[in-house]
Chain A
Amino acid sequence: MLYVEGLTKTYRTGDSELPILRGVNLSVEKGEFVAIMGPSGSGKSTFMNMLGCLDRPDSGTYVLDGIEVSKQNDQQLALVRNQKIGFVFQSFNLLPRSTSLHNVELPMMYAGISRSERRKRAMEALKRVGLGERMNHRPTQLSGGQKQRVAIARALVNRPAILLADEPTGNLDSRSGTEIMAMFQELHEQGVTIILVTHELDIAQHAERIVTFKDGVIMKDERVEERLTAVPSDEVILT
C-alpha cells in the first residue's frame, strides 16, 4: 500500500543546512492503523507532508498504492492528493464560509464528479459520521468534535488509499477527542488505512503500530500489545 525507502529532506536557510529527514524507511500494509510519534523537530511533520504529497523529498522513493509519487510533478501530485489521500488536520481546516455539505463536496469537485453524484455521496459521508442533521451548518455553528467529523467525512469521500491524520484531537476537549478516536477505530475496523501523527502516547495507543521518529530517522517501530478494541489486528489486515 505504502512504501518509503531512503527518504531525505534538508532545509536550507541562507548558508546553513538543516537536515530534517535522514533516510527514512517504512512500509505500511493496507488496512493498517499506524501512529507516528516523536518530539517536535524529530521530522515527523515533514514526513507527514511527504506522505501527504504536499512536499517532495530530496532523495529516496515513495510509492503509494502503486504510484511512484517521488517522481510526479505538481499537477500529478494534486491528483494523487485528490484521489489517494484523505487529510484530517489538527485545526480542522474547513472552509469557514461553506456548509458542511459543501466542504465535503470539495474534493469531489476537484475530482470532476457531477453535482448530483457529489451531493449524494457527501450526504452519505456526513450521515456516516453522524452529522446527517448538520449538513447545512457552517463550521462556526459546529462544535470542535463536529467539525472534525466533517473533516473526516471530507477526507473519506473520495475513497482514498490512506487517511492521514495530523494531531486530530489536538484542538478538542477530551470527550470529543475520545469520540474522534472511537471513529478512527471504527474506520480501521472497516479496513481504512490510517496514519496518525500525535505526540500523546494514549492517543497513539489506539493504533496497532507505533512508529517513533527522532532526529530525522525512525528510532522505534513496534506493535501495540495492549489493544483497546477486541478486534485482532491480523483479521483487519485480511479485509
Chain B
Amino acid sequence: MNFWEALRTAIDGIWANKMRSGLTMLGIIIGITSVIAVNTLGEGGQRAITSEMEKFGQNSFNIYTDYESKEEHSNDDLTVEDAETLSRISPYIERLVPYNQSNSIVKGPKKEERVNVYSTTAHYLEIQPTVKISKGRFFSEADDKELRAVIVLEDELAKKLFGQMNPLGQRVRMGDNSLVVIGTYKEEKFRFDMSQTYGAYIPIRYDLSFQEEPFVSTLIGKAKDKESVEAAMKQATQYLSRKHQKENHYRSFSMQEQVNQFNQLTGTLTIIFSVIAGISLVVGGVGVMNIMLVSVTERTREIGIRKALGARRRDILMQFLIESLIVCLIGGLIGVLLGLGAAALVSYFAQLPPLLSWNSIFIAFGFSSAIGIFFGLYPANKAAKLDPIEALRYE
C-alpha cells in the first residue's frame, strides 16, 4: 500500500469519527492558535515600534554626561559651541545640536497652558524631520546668536492660546519673559507617545541667558550614515573628554542601541509567552495520543481484518500515524487561521499594522506535524503489533 492509499484510508478514518476527531483537534487548535497569536503580535509590535523609532531618529544619537562619573559636574560640561565645533570638524557627524527640555507655563491672550519647552539651535530641523513648520518660520541662527526672545508654538497650542487670532507676531508670556511668536509647527508624534502636553521651541542661547544656572543637558546628533553612528559617538565623546579634561565623563546612546534593546526585550517576552503557549500544545498532543489509543482499541477488529487480508505492520503503522498526523495538521491549520485572526483583531484595536509572520506559521506546522508523529507513534505501533488472531476475535 502506498502513501496515497494510506492517506485516503486515514482520512476515511477521521471522517468516520468526525466528532471525536474534532475534539481531538481542539487541543492542537488551542495550542497553535495561542502560539501563532503570541508570535504574530510580538513580531508585529516589535516591527511597528522599531520602524517608528527609526523614522524618528535614523542614525541619531545623544551625548550626555554620566551621572555616575567620578569627575565633578559643572554647568559648562556641554556647550553650544561644542556642538557647533563637532558639527564642523567631524567627518562622521552630519549635525550636532544642543538640546534642553523644560516645563513652563506659557500665557496667551485667551488662555495659559503648561508646555514642554525645548531649546535648541536653528539646525534642529535638520536632524528632526518630523517637525514641520506650518505657519511663519523656525528661528534662525541670527535669532539665536542675538538672543532674540522668539518662540515657535505647536499648532494646537497656538489655537489654545490665541483662538482664531493669527498668532504670528503676537506675544506670549513665559515666567518673567515676553516672547514673540514667529511660527507654528506640527509634529508627527511617536505612535506610542501618549503625552497630551503641547510643545514649543525657543533658541537655546536666549534660554540660557535668563537661567540662573545655565547648562546644556544633551547634545543630539545625526551621523552621516548608519555606518558612521559608532564613529560619530566615539569622536564626540573623545573630543569632549579632551576639551573639558574629564575622563569617563561623557556617555553616548544611539537610537539603534535603543531599538536593539527594545528588540531584545520583546524577543524575550515573545519566547516566554510562546513557551507557555507551547505547553498547551504538548497537552493537546497528549490528548491526541489518548484518543488514538482509544481509536486503536475500538478498531482492533478492523486491524485484524486488514491484517488477515494482507496488511503488513508497516501498512497499519502508516495508517494510524498518518491519521494522527492529519488530525494535528488540520488542527494546526485551523489554529494558524484562528491565531492570525486573533492577532489581526488585537492589532486592529491596538492600531498596529497587521502582519503575517511566516516564521511562526512554518513553526506551527512543524510543531503540529512533530506532535502528530510523536504522540501518534505509540498508538500506531500498538496497532501494528496486534496479533491478527486476537484482533479478529475481539468483540
List A contacts of B392 (CB < 8 A).
54, 89, 93
Flag if A49 contacts B312 (CB, 8 Å).
Answer: no
Flag if B312 contacts A75 (CB, 8 Å).
Answer: yes
| Among B12, B302, B310, contact of A110 (Cβ-Cβ < 8 Å) | B310
1/0 per residue, CB under 8 A from A, across B296-325: the answer is 000001101111111111110000000000
List B contacts of A79 (CB < 8 A).
310, 312
Most buried by A among B5, B301, B305, B306: B305
Is residue A97 within 8 Å, beta carbon to beta carbon, of the partner chain? yes
Contact A110-B308, Cβ < 8 Å, known A55-B389, A95-B302, A97-B12? no
Is residue B269 within 8 Å, beta carbon to beta carbon, of the partner chain? no
A74 to B311, CA, bound (A): 10
Contact A154-B309, Cβ < 8 Å, known A97-B16, A109-B5, A112-B2? yes
Is residue A106 within 8 Å, beta carbon to beta carbon, of the partner chain? yes
| Among A81, A83, A112, contact of B308 (Cβ-Cβ < 8 Å) | A81
A75 to B302, CA, bound (A): 18
List A contacts of B363 (CB < 8 A).
none
Contact A49-B389, Cβ < 8 Å, known A97-B12, A97-B16, A109-B5? yes
Interface size on B, residues (CB 8 A): 22
A52 to B389, CA, bound (A): 10
Considering only CB atoms, which chain B residue lies closest to A74 in the complex? B313
Flag if A82 contacts B389 (CB, 8 Å).
Answer: no
Is residue A111 within 8 Å, beta carbon to beta carbon, of the partner chain? yes
List B contacts of A55 (CB < 8 A).
389
Is residue B354 within 8 Å, beta carbon to beta carbon, of the partner chain? no
Is residue A57 within 8 Å, beta carbon to beta carbon, of the partner chain? no
How far apart are B318's CB and chain A's nearest CB, in angstroms?
11
Most buried by A among B2, B302, B307, B310: B310
1/0 per residue, CB under 8 A from A, across B15-48: the answer is 0100000000000000000000000000000000
Is residue B388 within 8 Å, beta carbon to beta carbon, of the partner chain? yes
Flag if A83 contacts B310 (CB, 8 Å).
Answer: yes
List A contacts of B165 (CB < 8 A).
none
| Among A49, A98, A109, A154, contact of B1 (Cβ-Cβ < 8 Å) | A109
A49 to B392, CA, bound (A): 11
Is residue A78 within 8 Å, beta carbon to beta carbon, of the partner chain? yes
Is residue A168 within 8 Å, beta carbon to beta carbon, of the partner chain? no
Flag if A78 contacts B5 (CB, 8 Å).
Answer: no
Contact A78-B1, Cβ < 8 Å, known A49-B389, A54-B388, A97-B16? no
Considering only CB atoms, which chain B residue lies closest to A89 in the complex? B392
A106 to B304, CA, bound (A): 13
List A contacts of B1 (CB < 8 A).
109-110, 112
Considering only CB atoms, which chain A residue lies closest to B304 in the complex? A93
* Interface residues of B, dominant DSSP: helix
How far apart are A74's CB and chain B's nearest CB, in angstroms?
6
Is residue A38 within 8 Å, beta carbon to beta carbon, of the partner chain? no
Flag if A106 contacts B12 (CB, 8 Å).
Answer: no
Flag if B310 contacts A111 (CB, 8 Å).
Answer: yes
Is residue A43 within 8 Å, beta carbon to beta carbon, of the partner chain? no
A208 to B304, CA, bound (A): 31
A111 to B307, CA, bound (A): 12
Is residue A31 within 8 Å, beta carbon to beta carbon, of the partner chain? no
How far apart are B348's CB and chain A's nearest CB, in angstroms?
44
How far apart are A94's CB and chain B's nearest CB, in angstroms?
8
Is residue A107 within 8 Å, beta carbon to beta carbon, of the partner chain? yes
Is residue A87 within 8 Å, beta carbon to beta carbon, of the partner chain? yes
A95 to B306, CA, bound (A): 9
How far apart are A87's CB and chain B's nearest CB, in angstroms?
5
Considering only CB atoms, which chain B residue lies closest to A49 in the complex? B389
Considering only CB atoms, which chain A residue lies closest to B2 in the complex? A112
Flag if B309 contacts A107 (CB, 8 Å).
Answer: yes
Those of A78-109 within 8 Å (CB) of chain B: 78-79, 81-83, 87, 89, 93-98, 106-107, 109
Flag if B309 contacts A82 (CB, 8 Å).
Answer: yes
A111 to B310, CA, bound (A): 8
List B contacts of A158 (CB < 8 A).
310
List A contacts of B305 (CB < 8 A).
93-95
How far apart are B240's CB and chain A's nearest CB, in angstroms?
81
A81 to B308, CA, bound (A): 6
Flag if A82 contacts B310 (CB, 8 Å).
Answer: yes
Flag if A107 contacts B310 (CB, 8 Å).
Answer: yes
Most buried by B among A49, A89, A106: A106
A54 to B40, CA, bound (A): 54
List A contacts of B314 (CB < 8 A).
75
1/0 per residue, CB under 8 A from A, across B227-264: the answer is 00000000000000000000000000000000000000
Considering only CB atoms, which chain A residue lies closest to B305 in the complex? A93
Flag if B309 contacts A106 (CB, 8 Å).
Answer: yes
A interface residues, Cβ below 8 angstroms from B: 49, 52, 54-55, 74-75, 78-79, 81-83, 87, 89, 93-98, 106-107, 109-112, 154, 158
Interchain Cβ contacts under 8 Å between A and B, 13 examples: A52-B308, A54-B388, A55-B389, A78-B313, A81-B310, A82-B309, A93-B301, A93-B308, A95-B302, A96-B302, A97-B12, A97-B16, A110-B309
The 3 closest A-B pairs by CB, nearest first: A82-B310, A110-B310, A78-B312
Add 16 more A-B contacts to A54-B392, A107-B310, A110-B310 (CB < 8 A): A54-B388, A55-B389, A75-B312, A78-B310, A78-B313, A79-B310, A79-B312, A82-B310, A93-B305, A94-B305, A96-B302, A97-B16, A98-B12, A106-B309, A110-B312, A112-B1
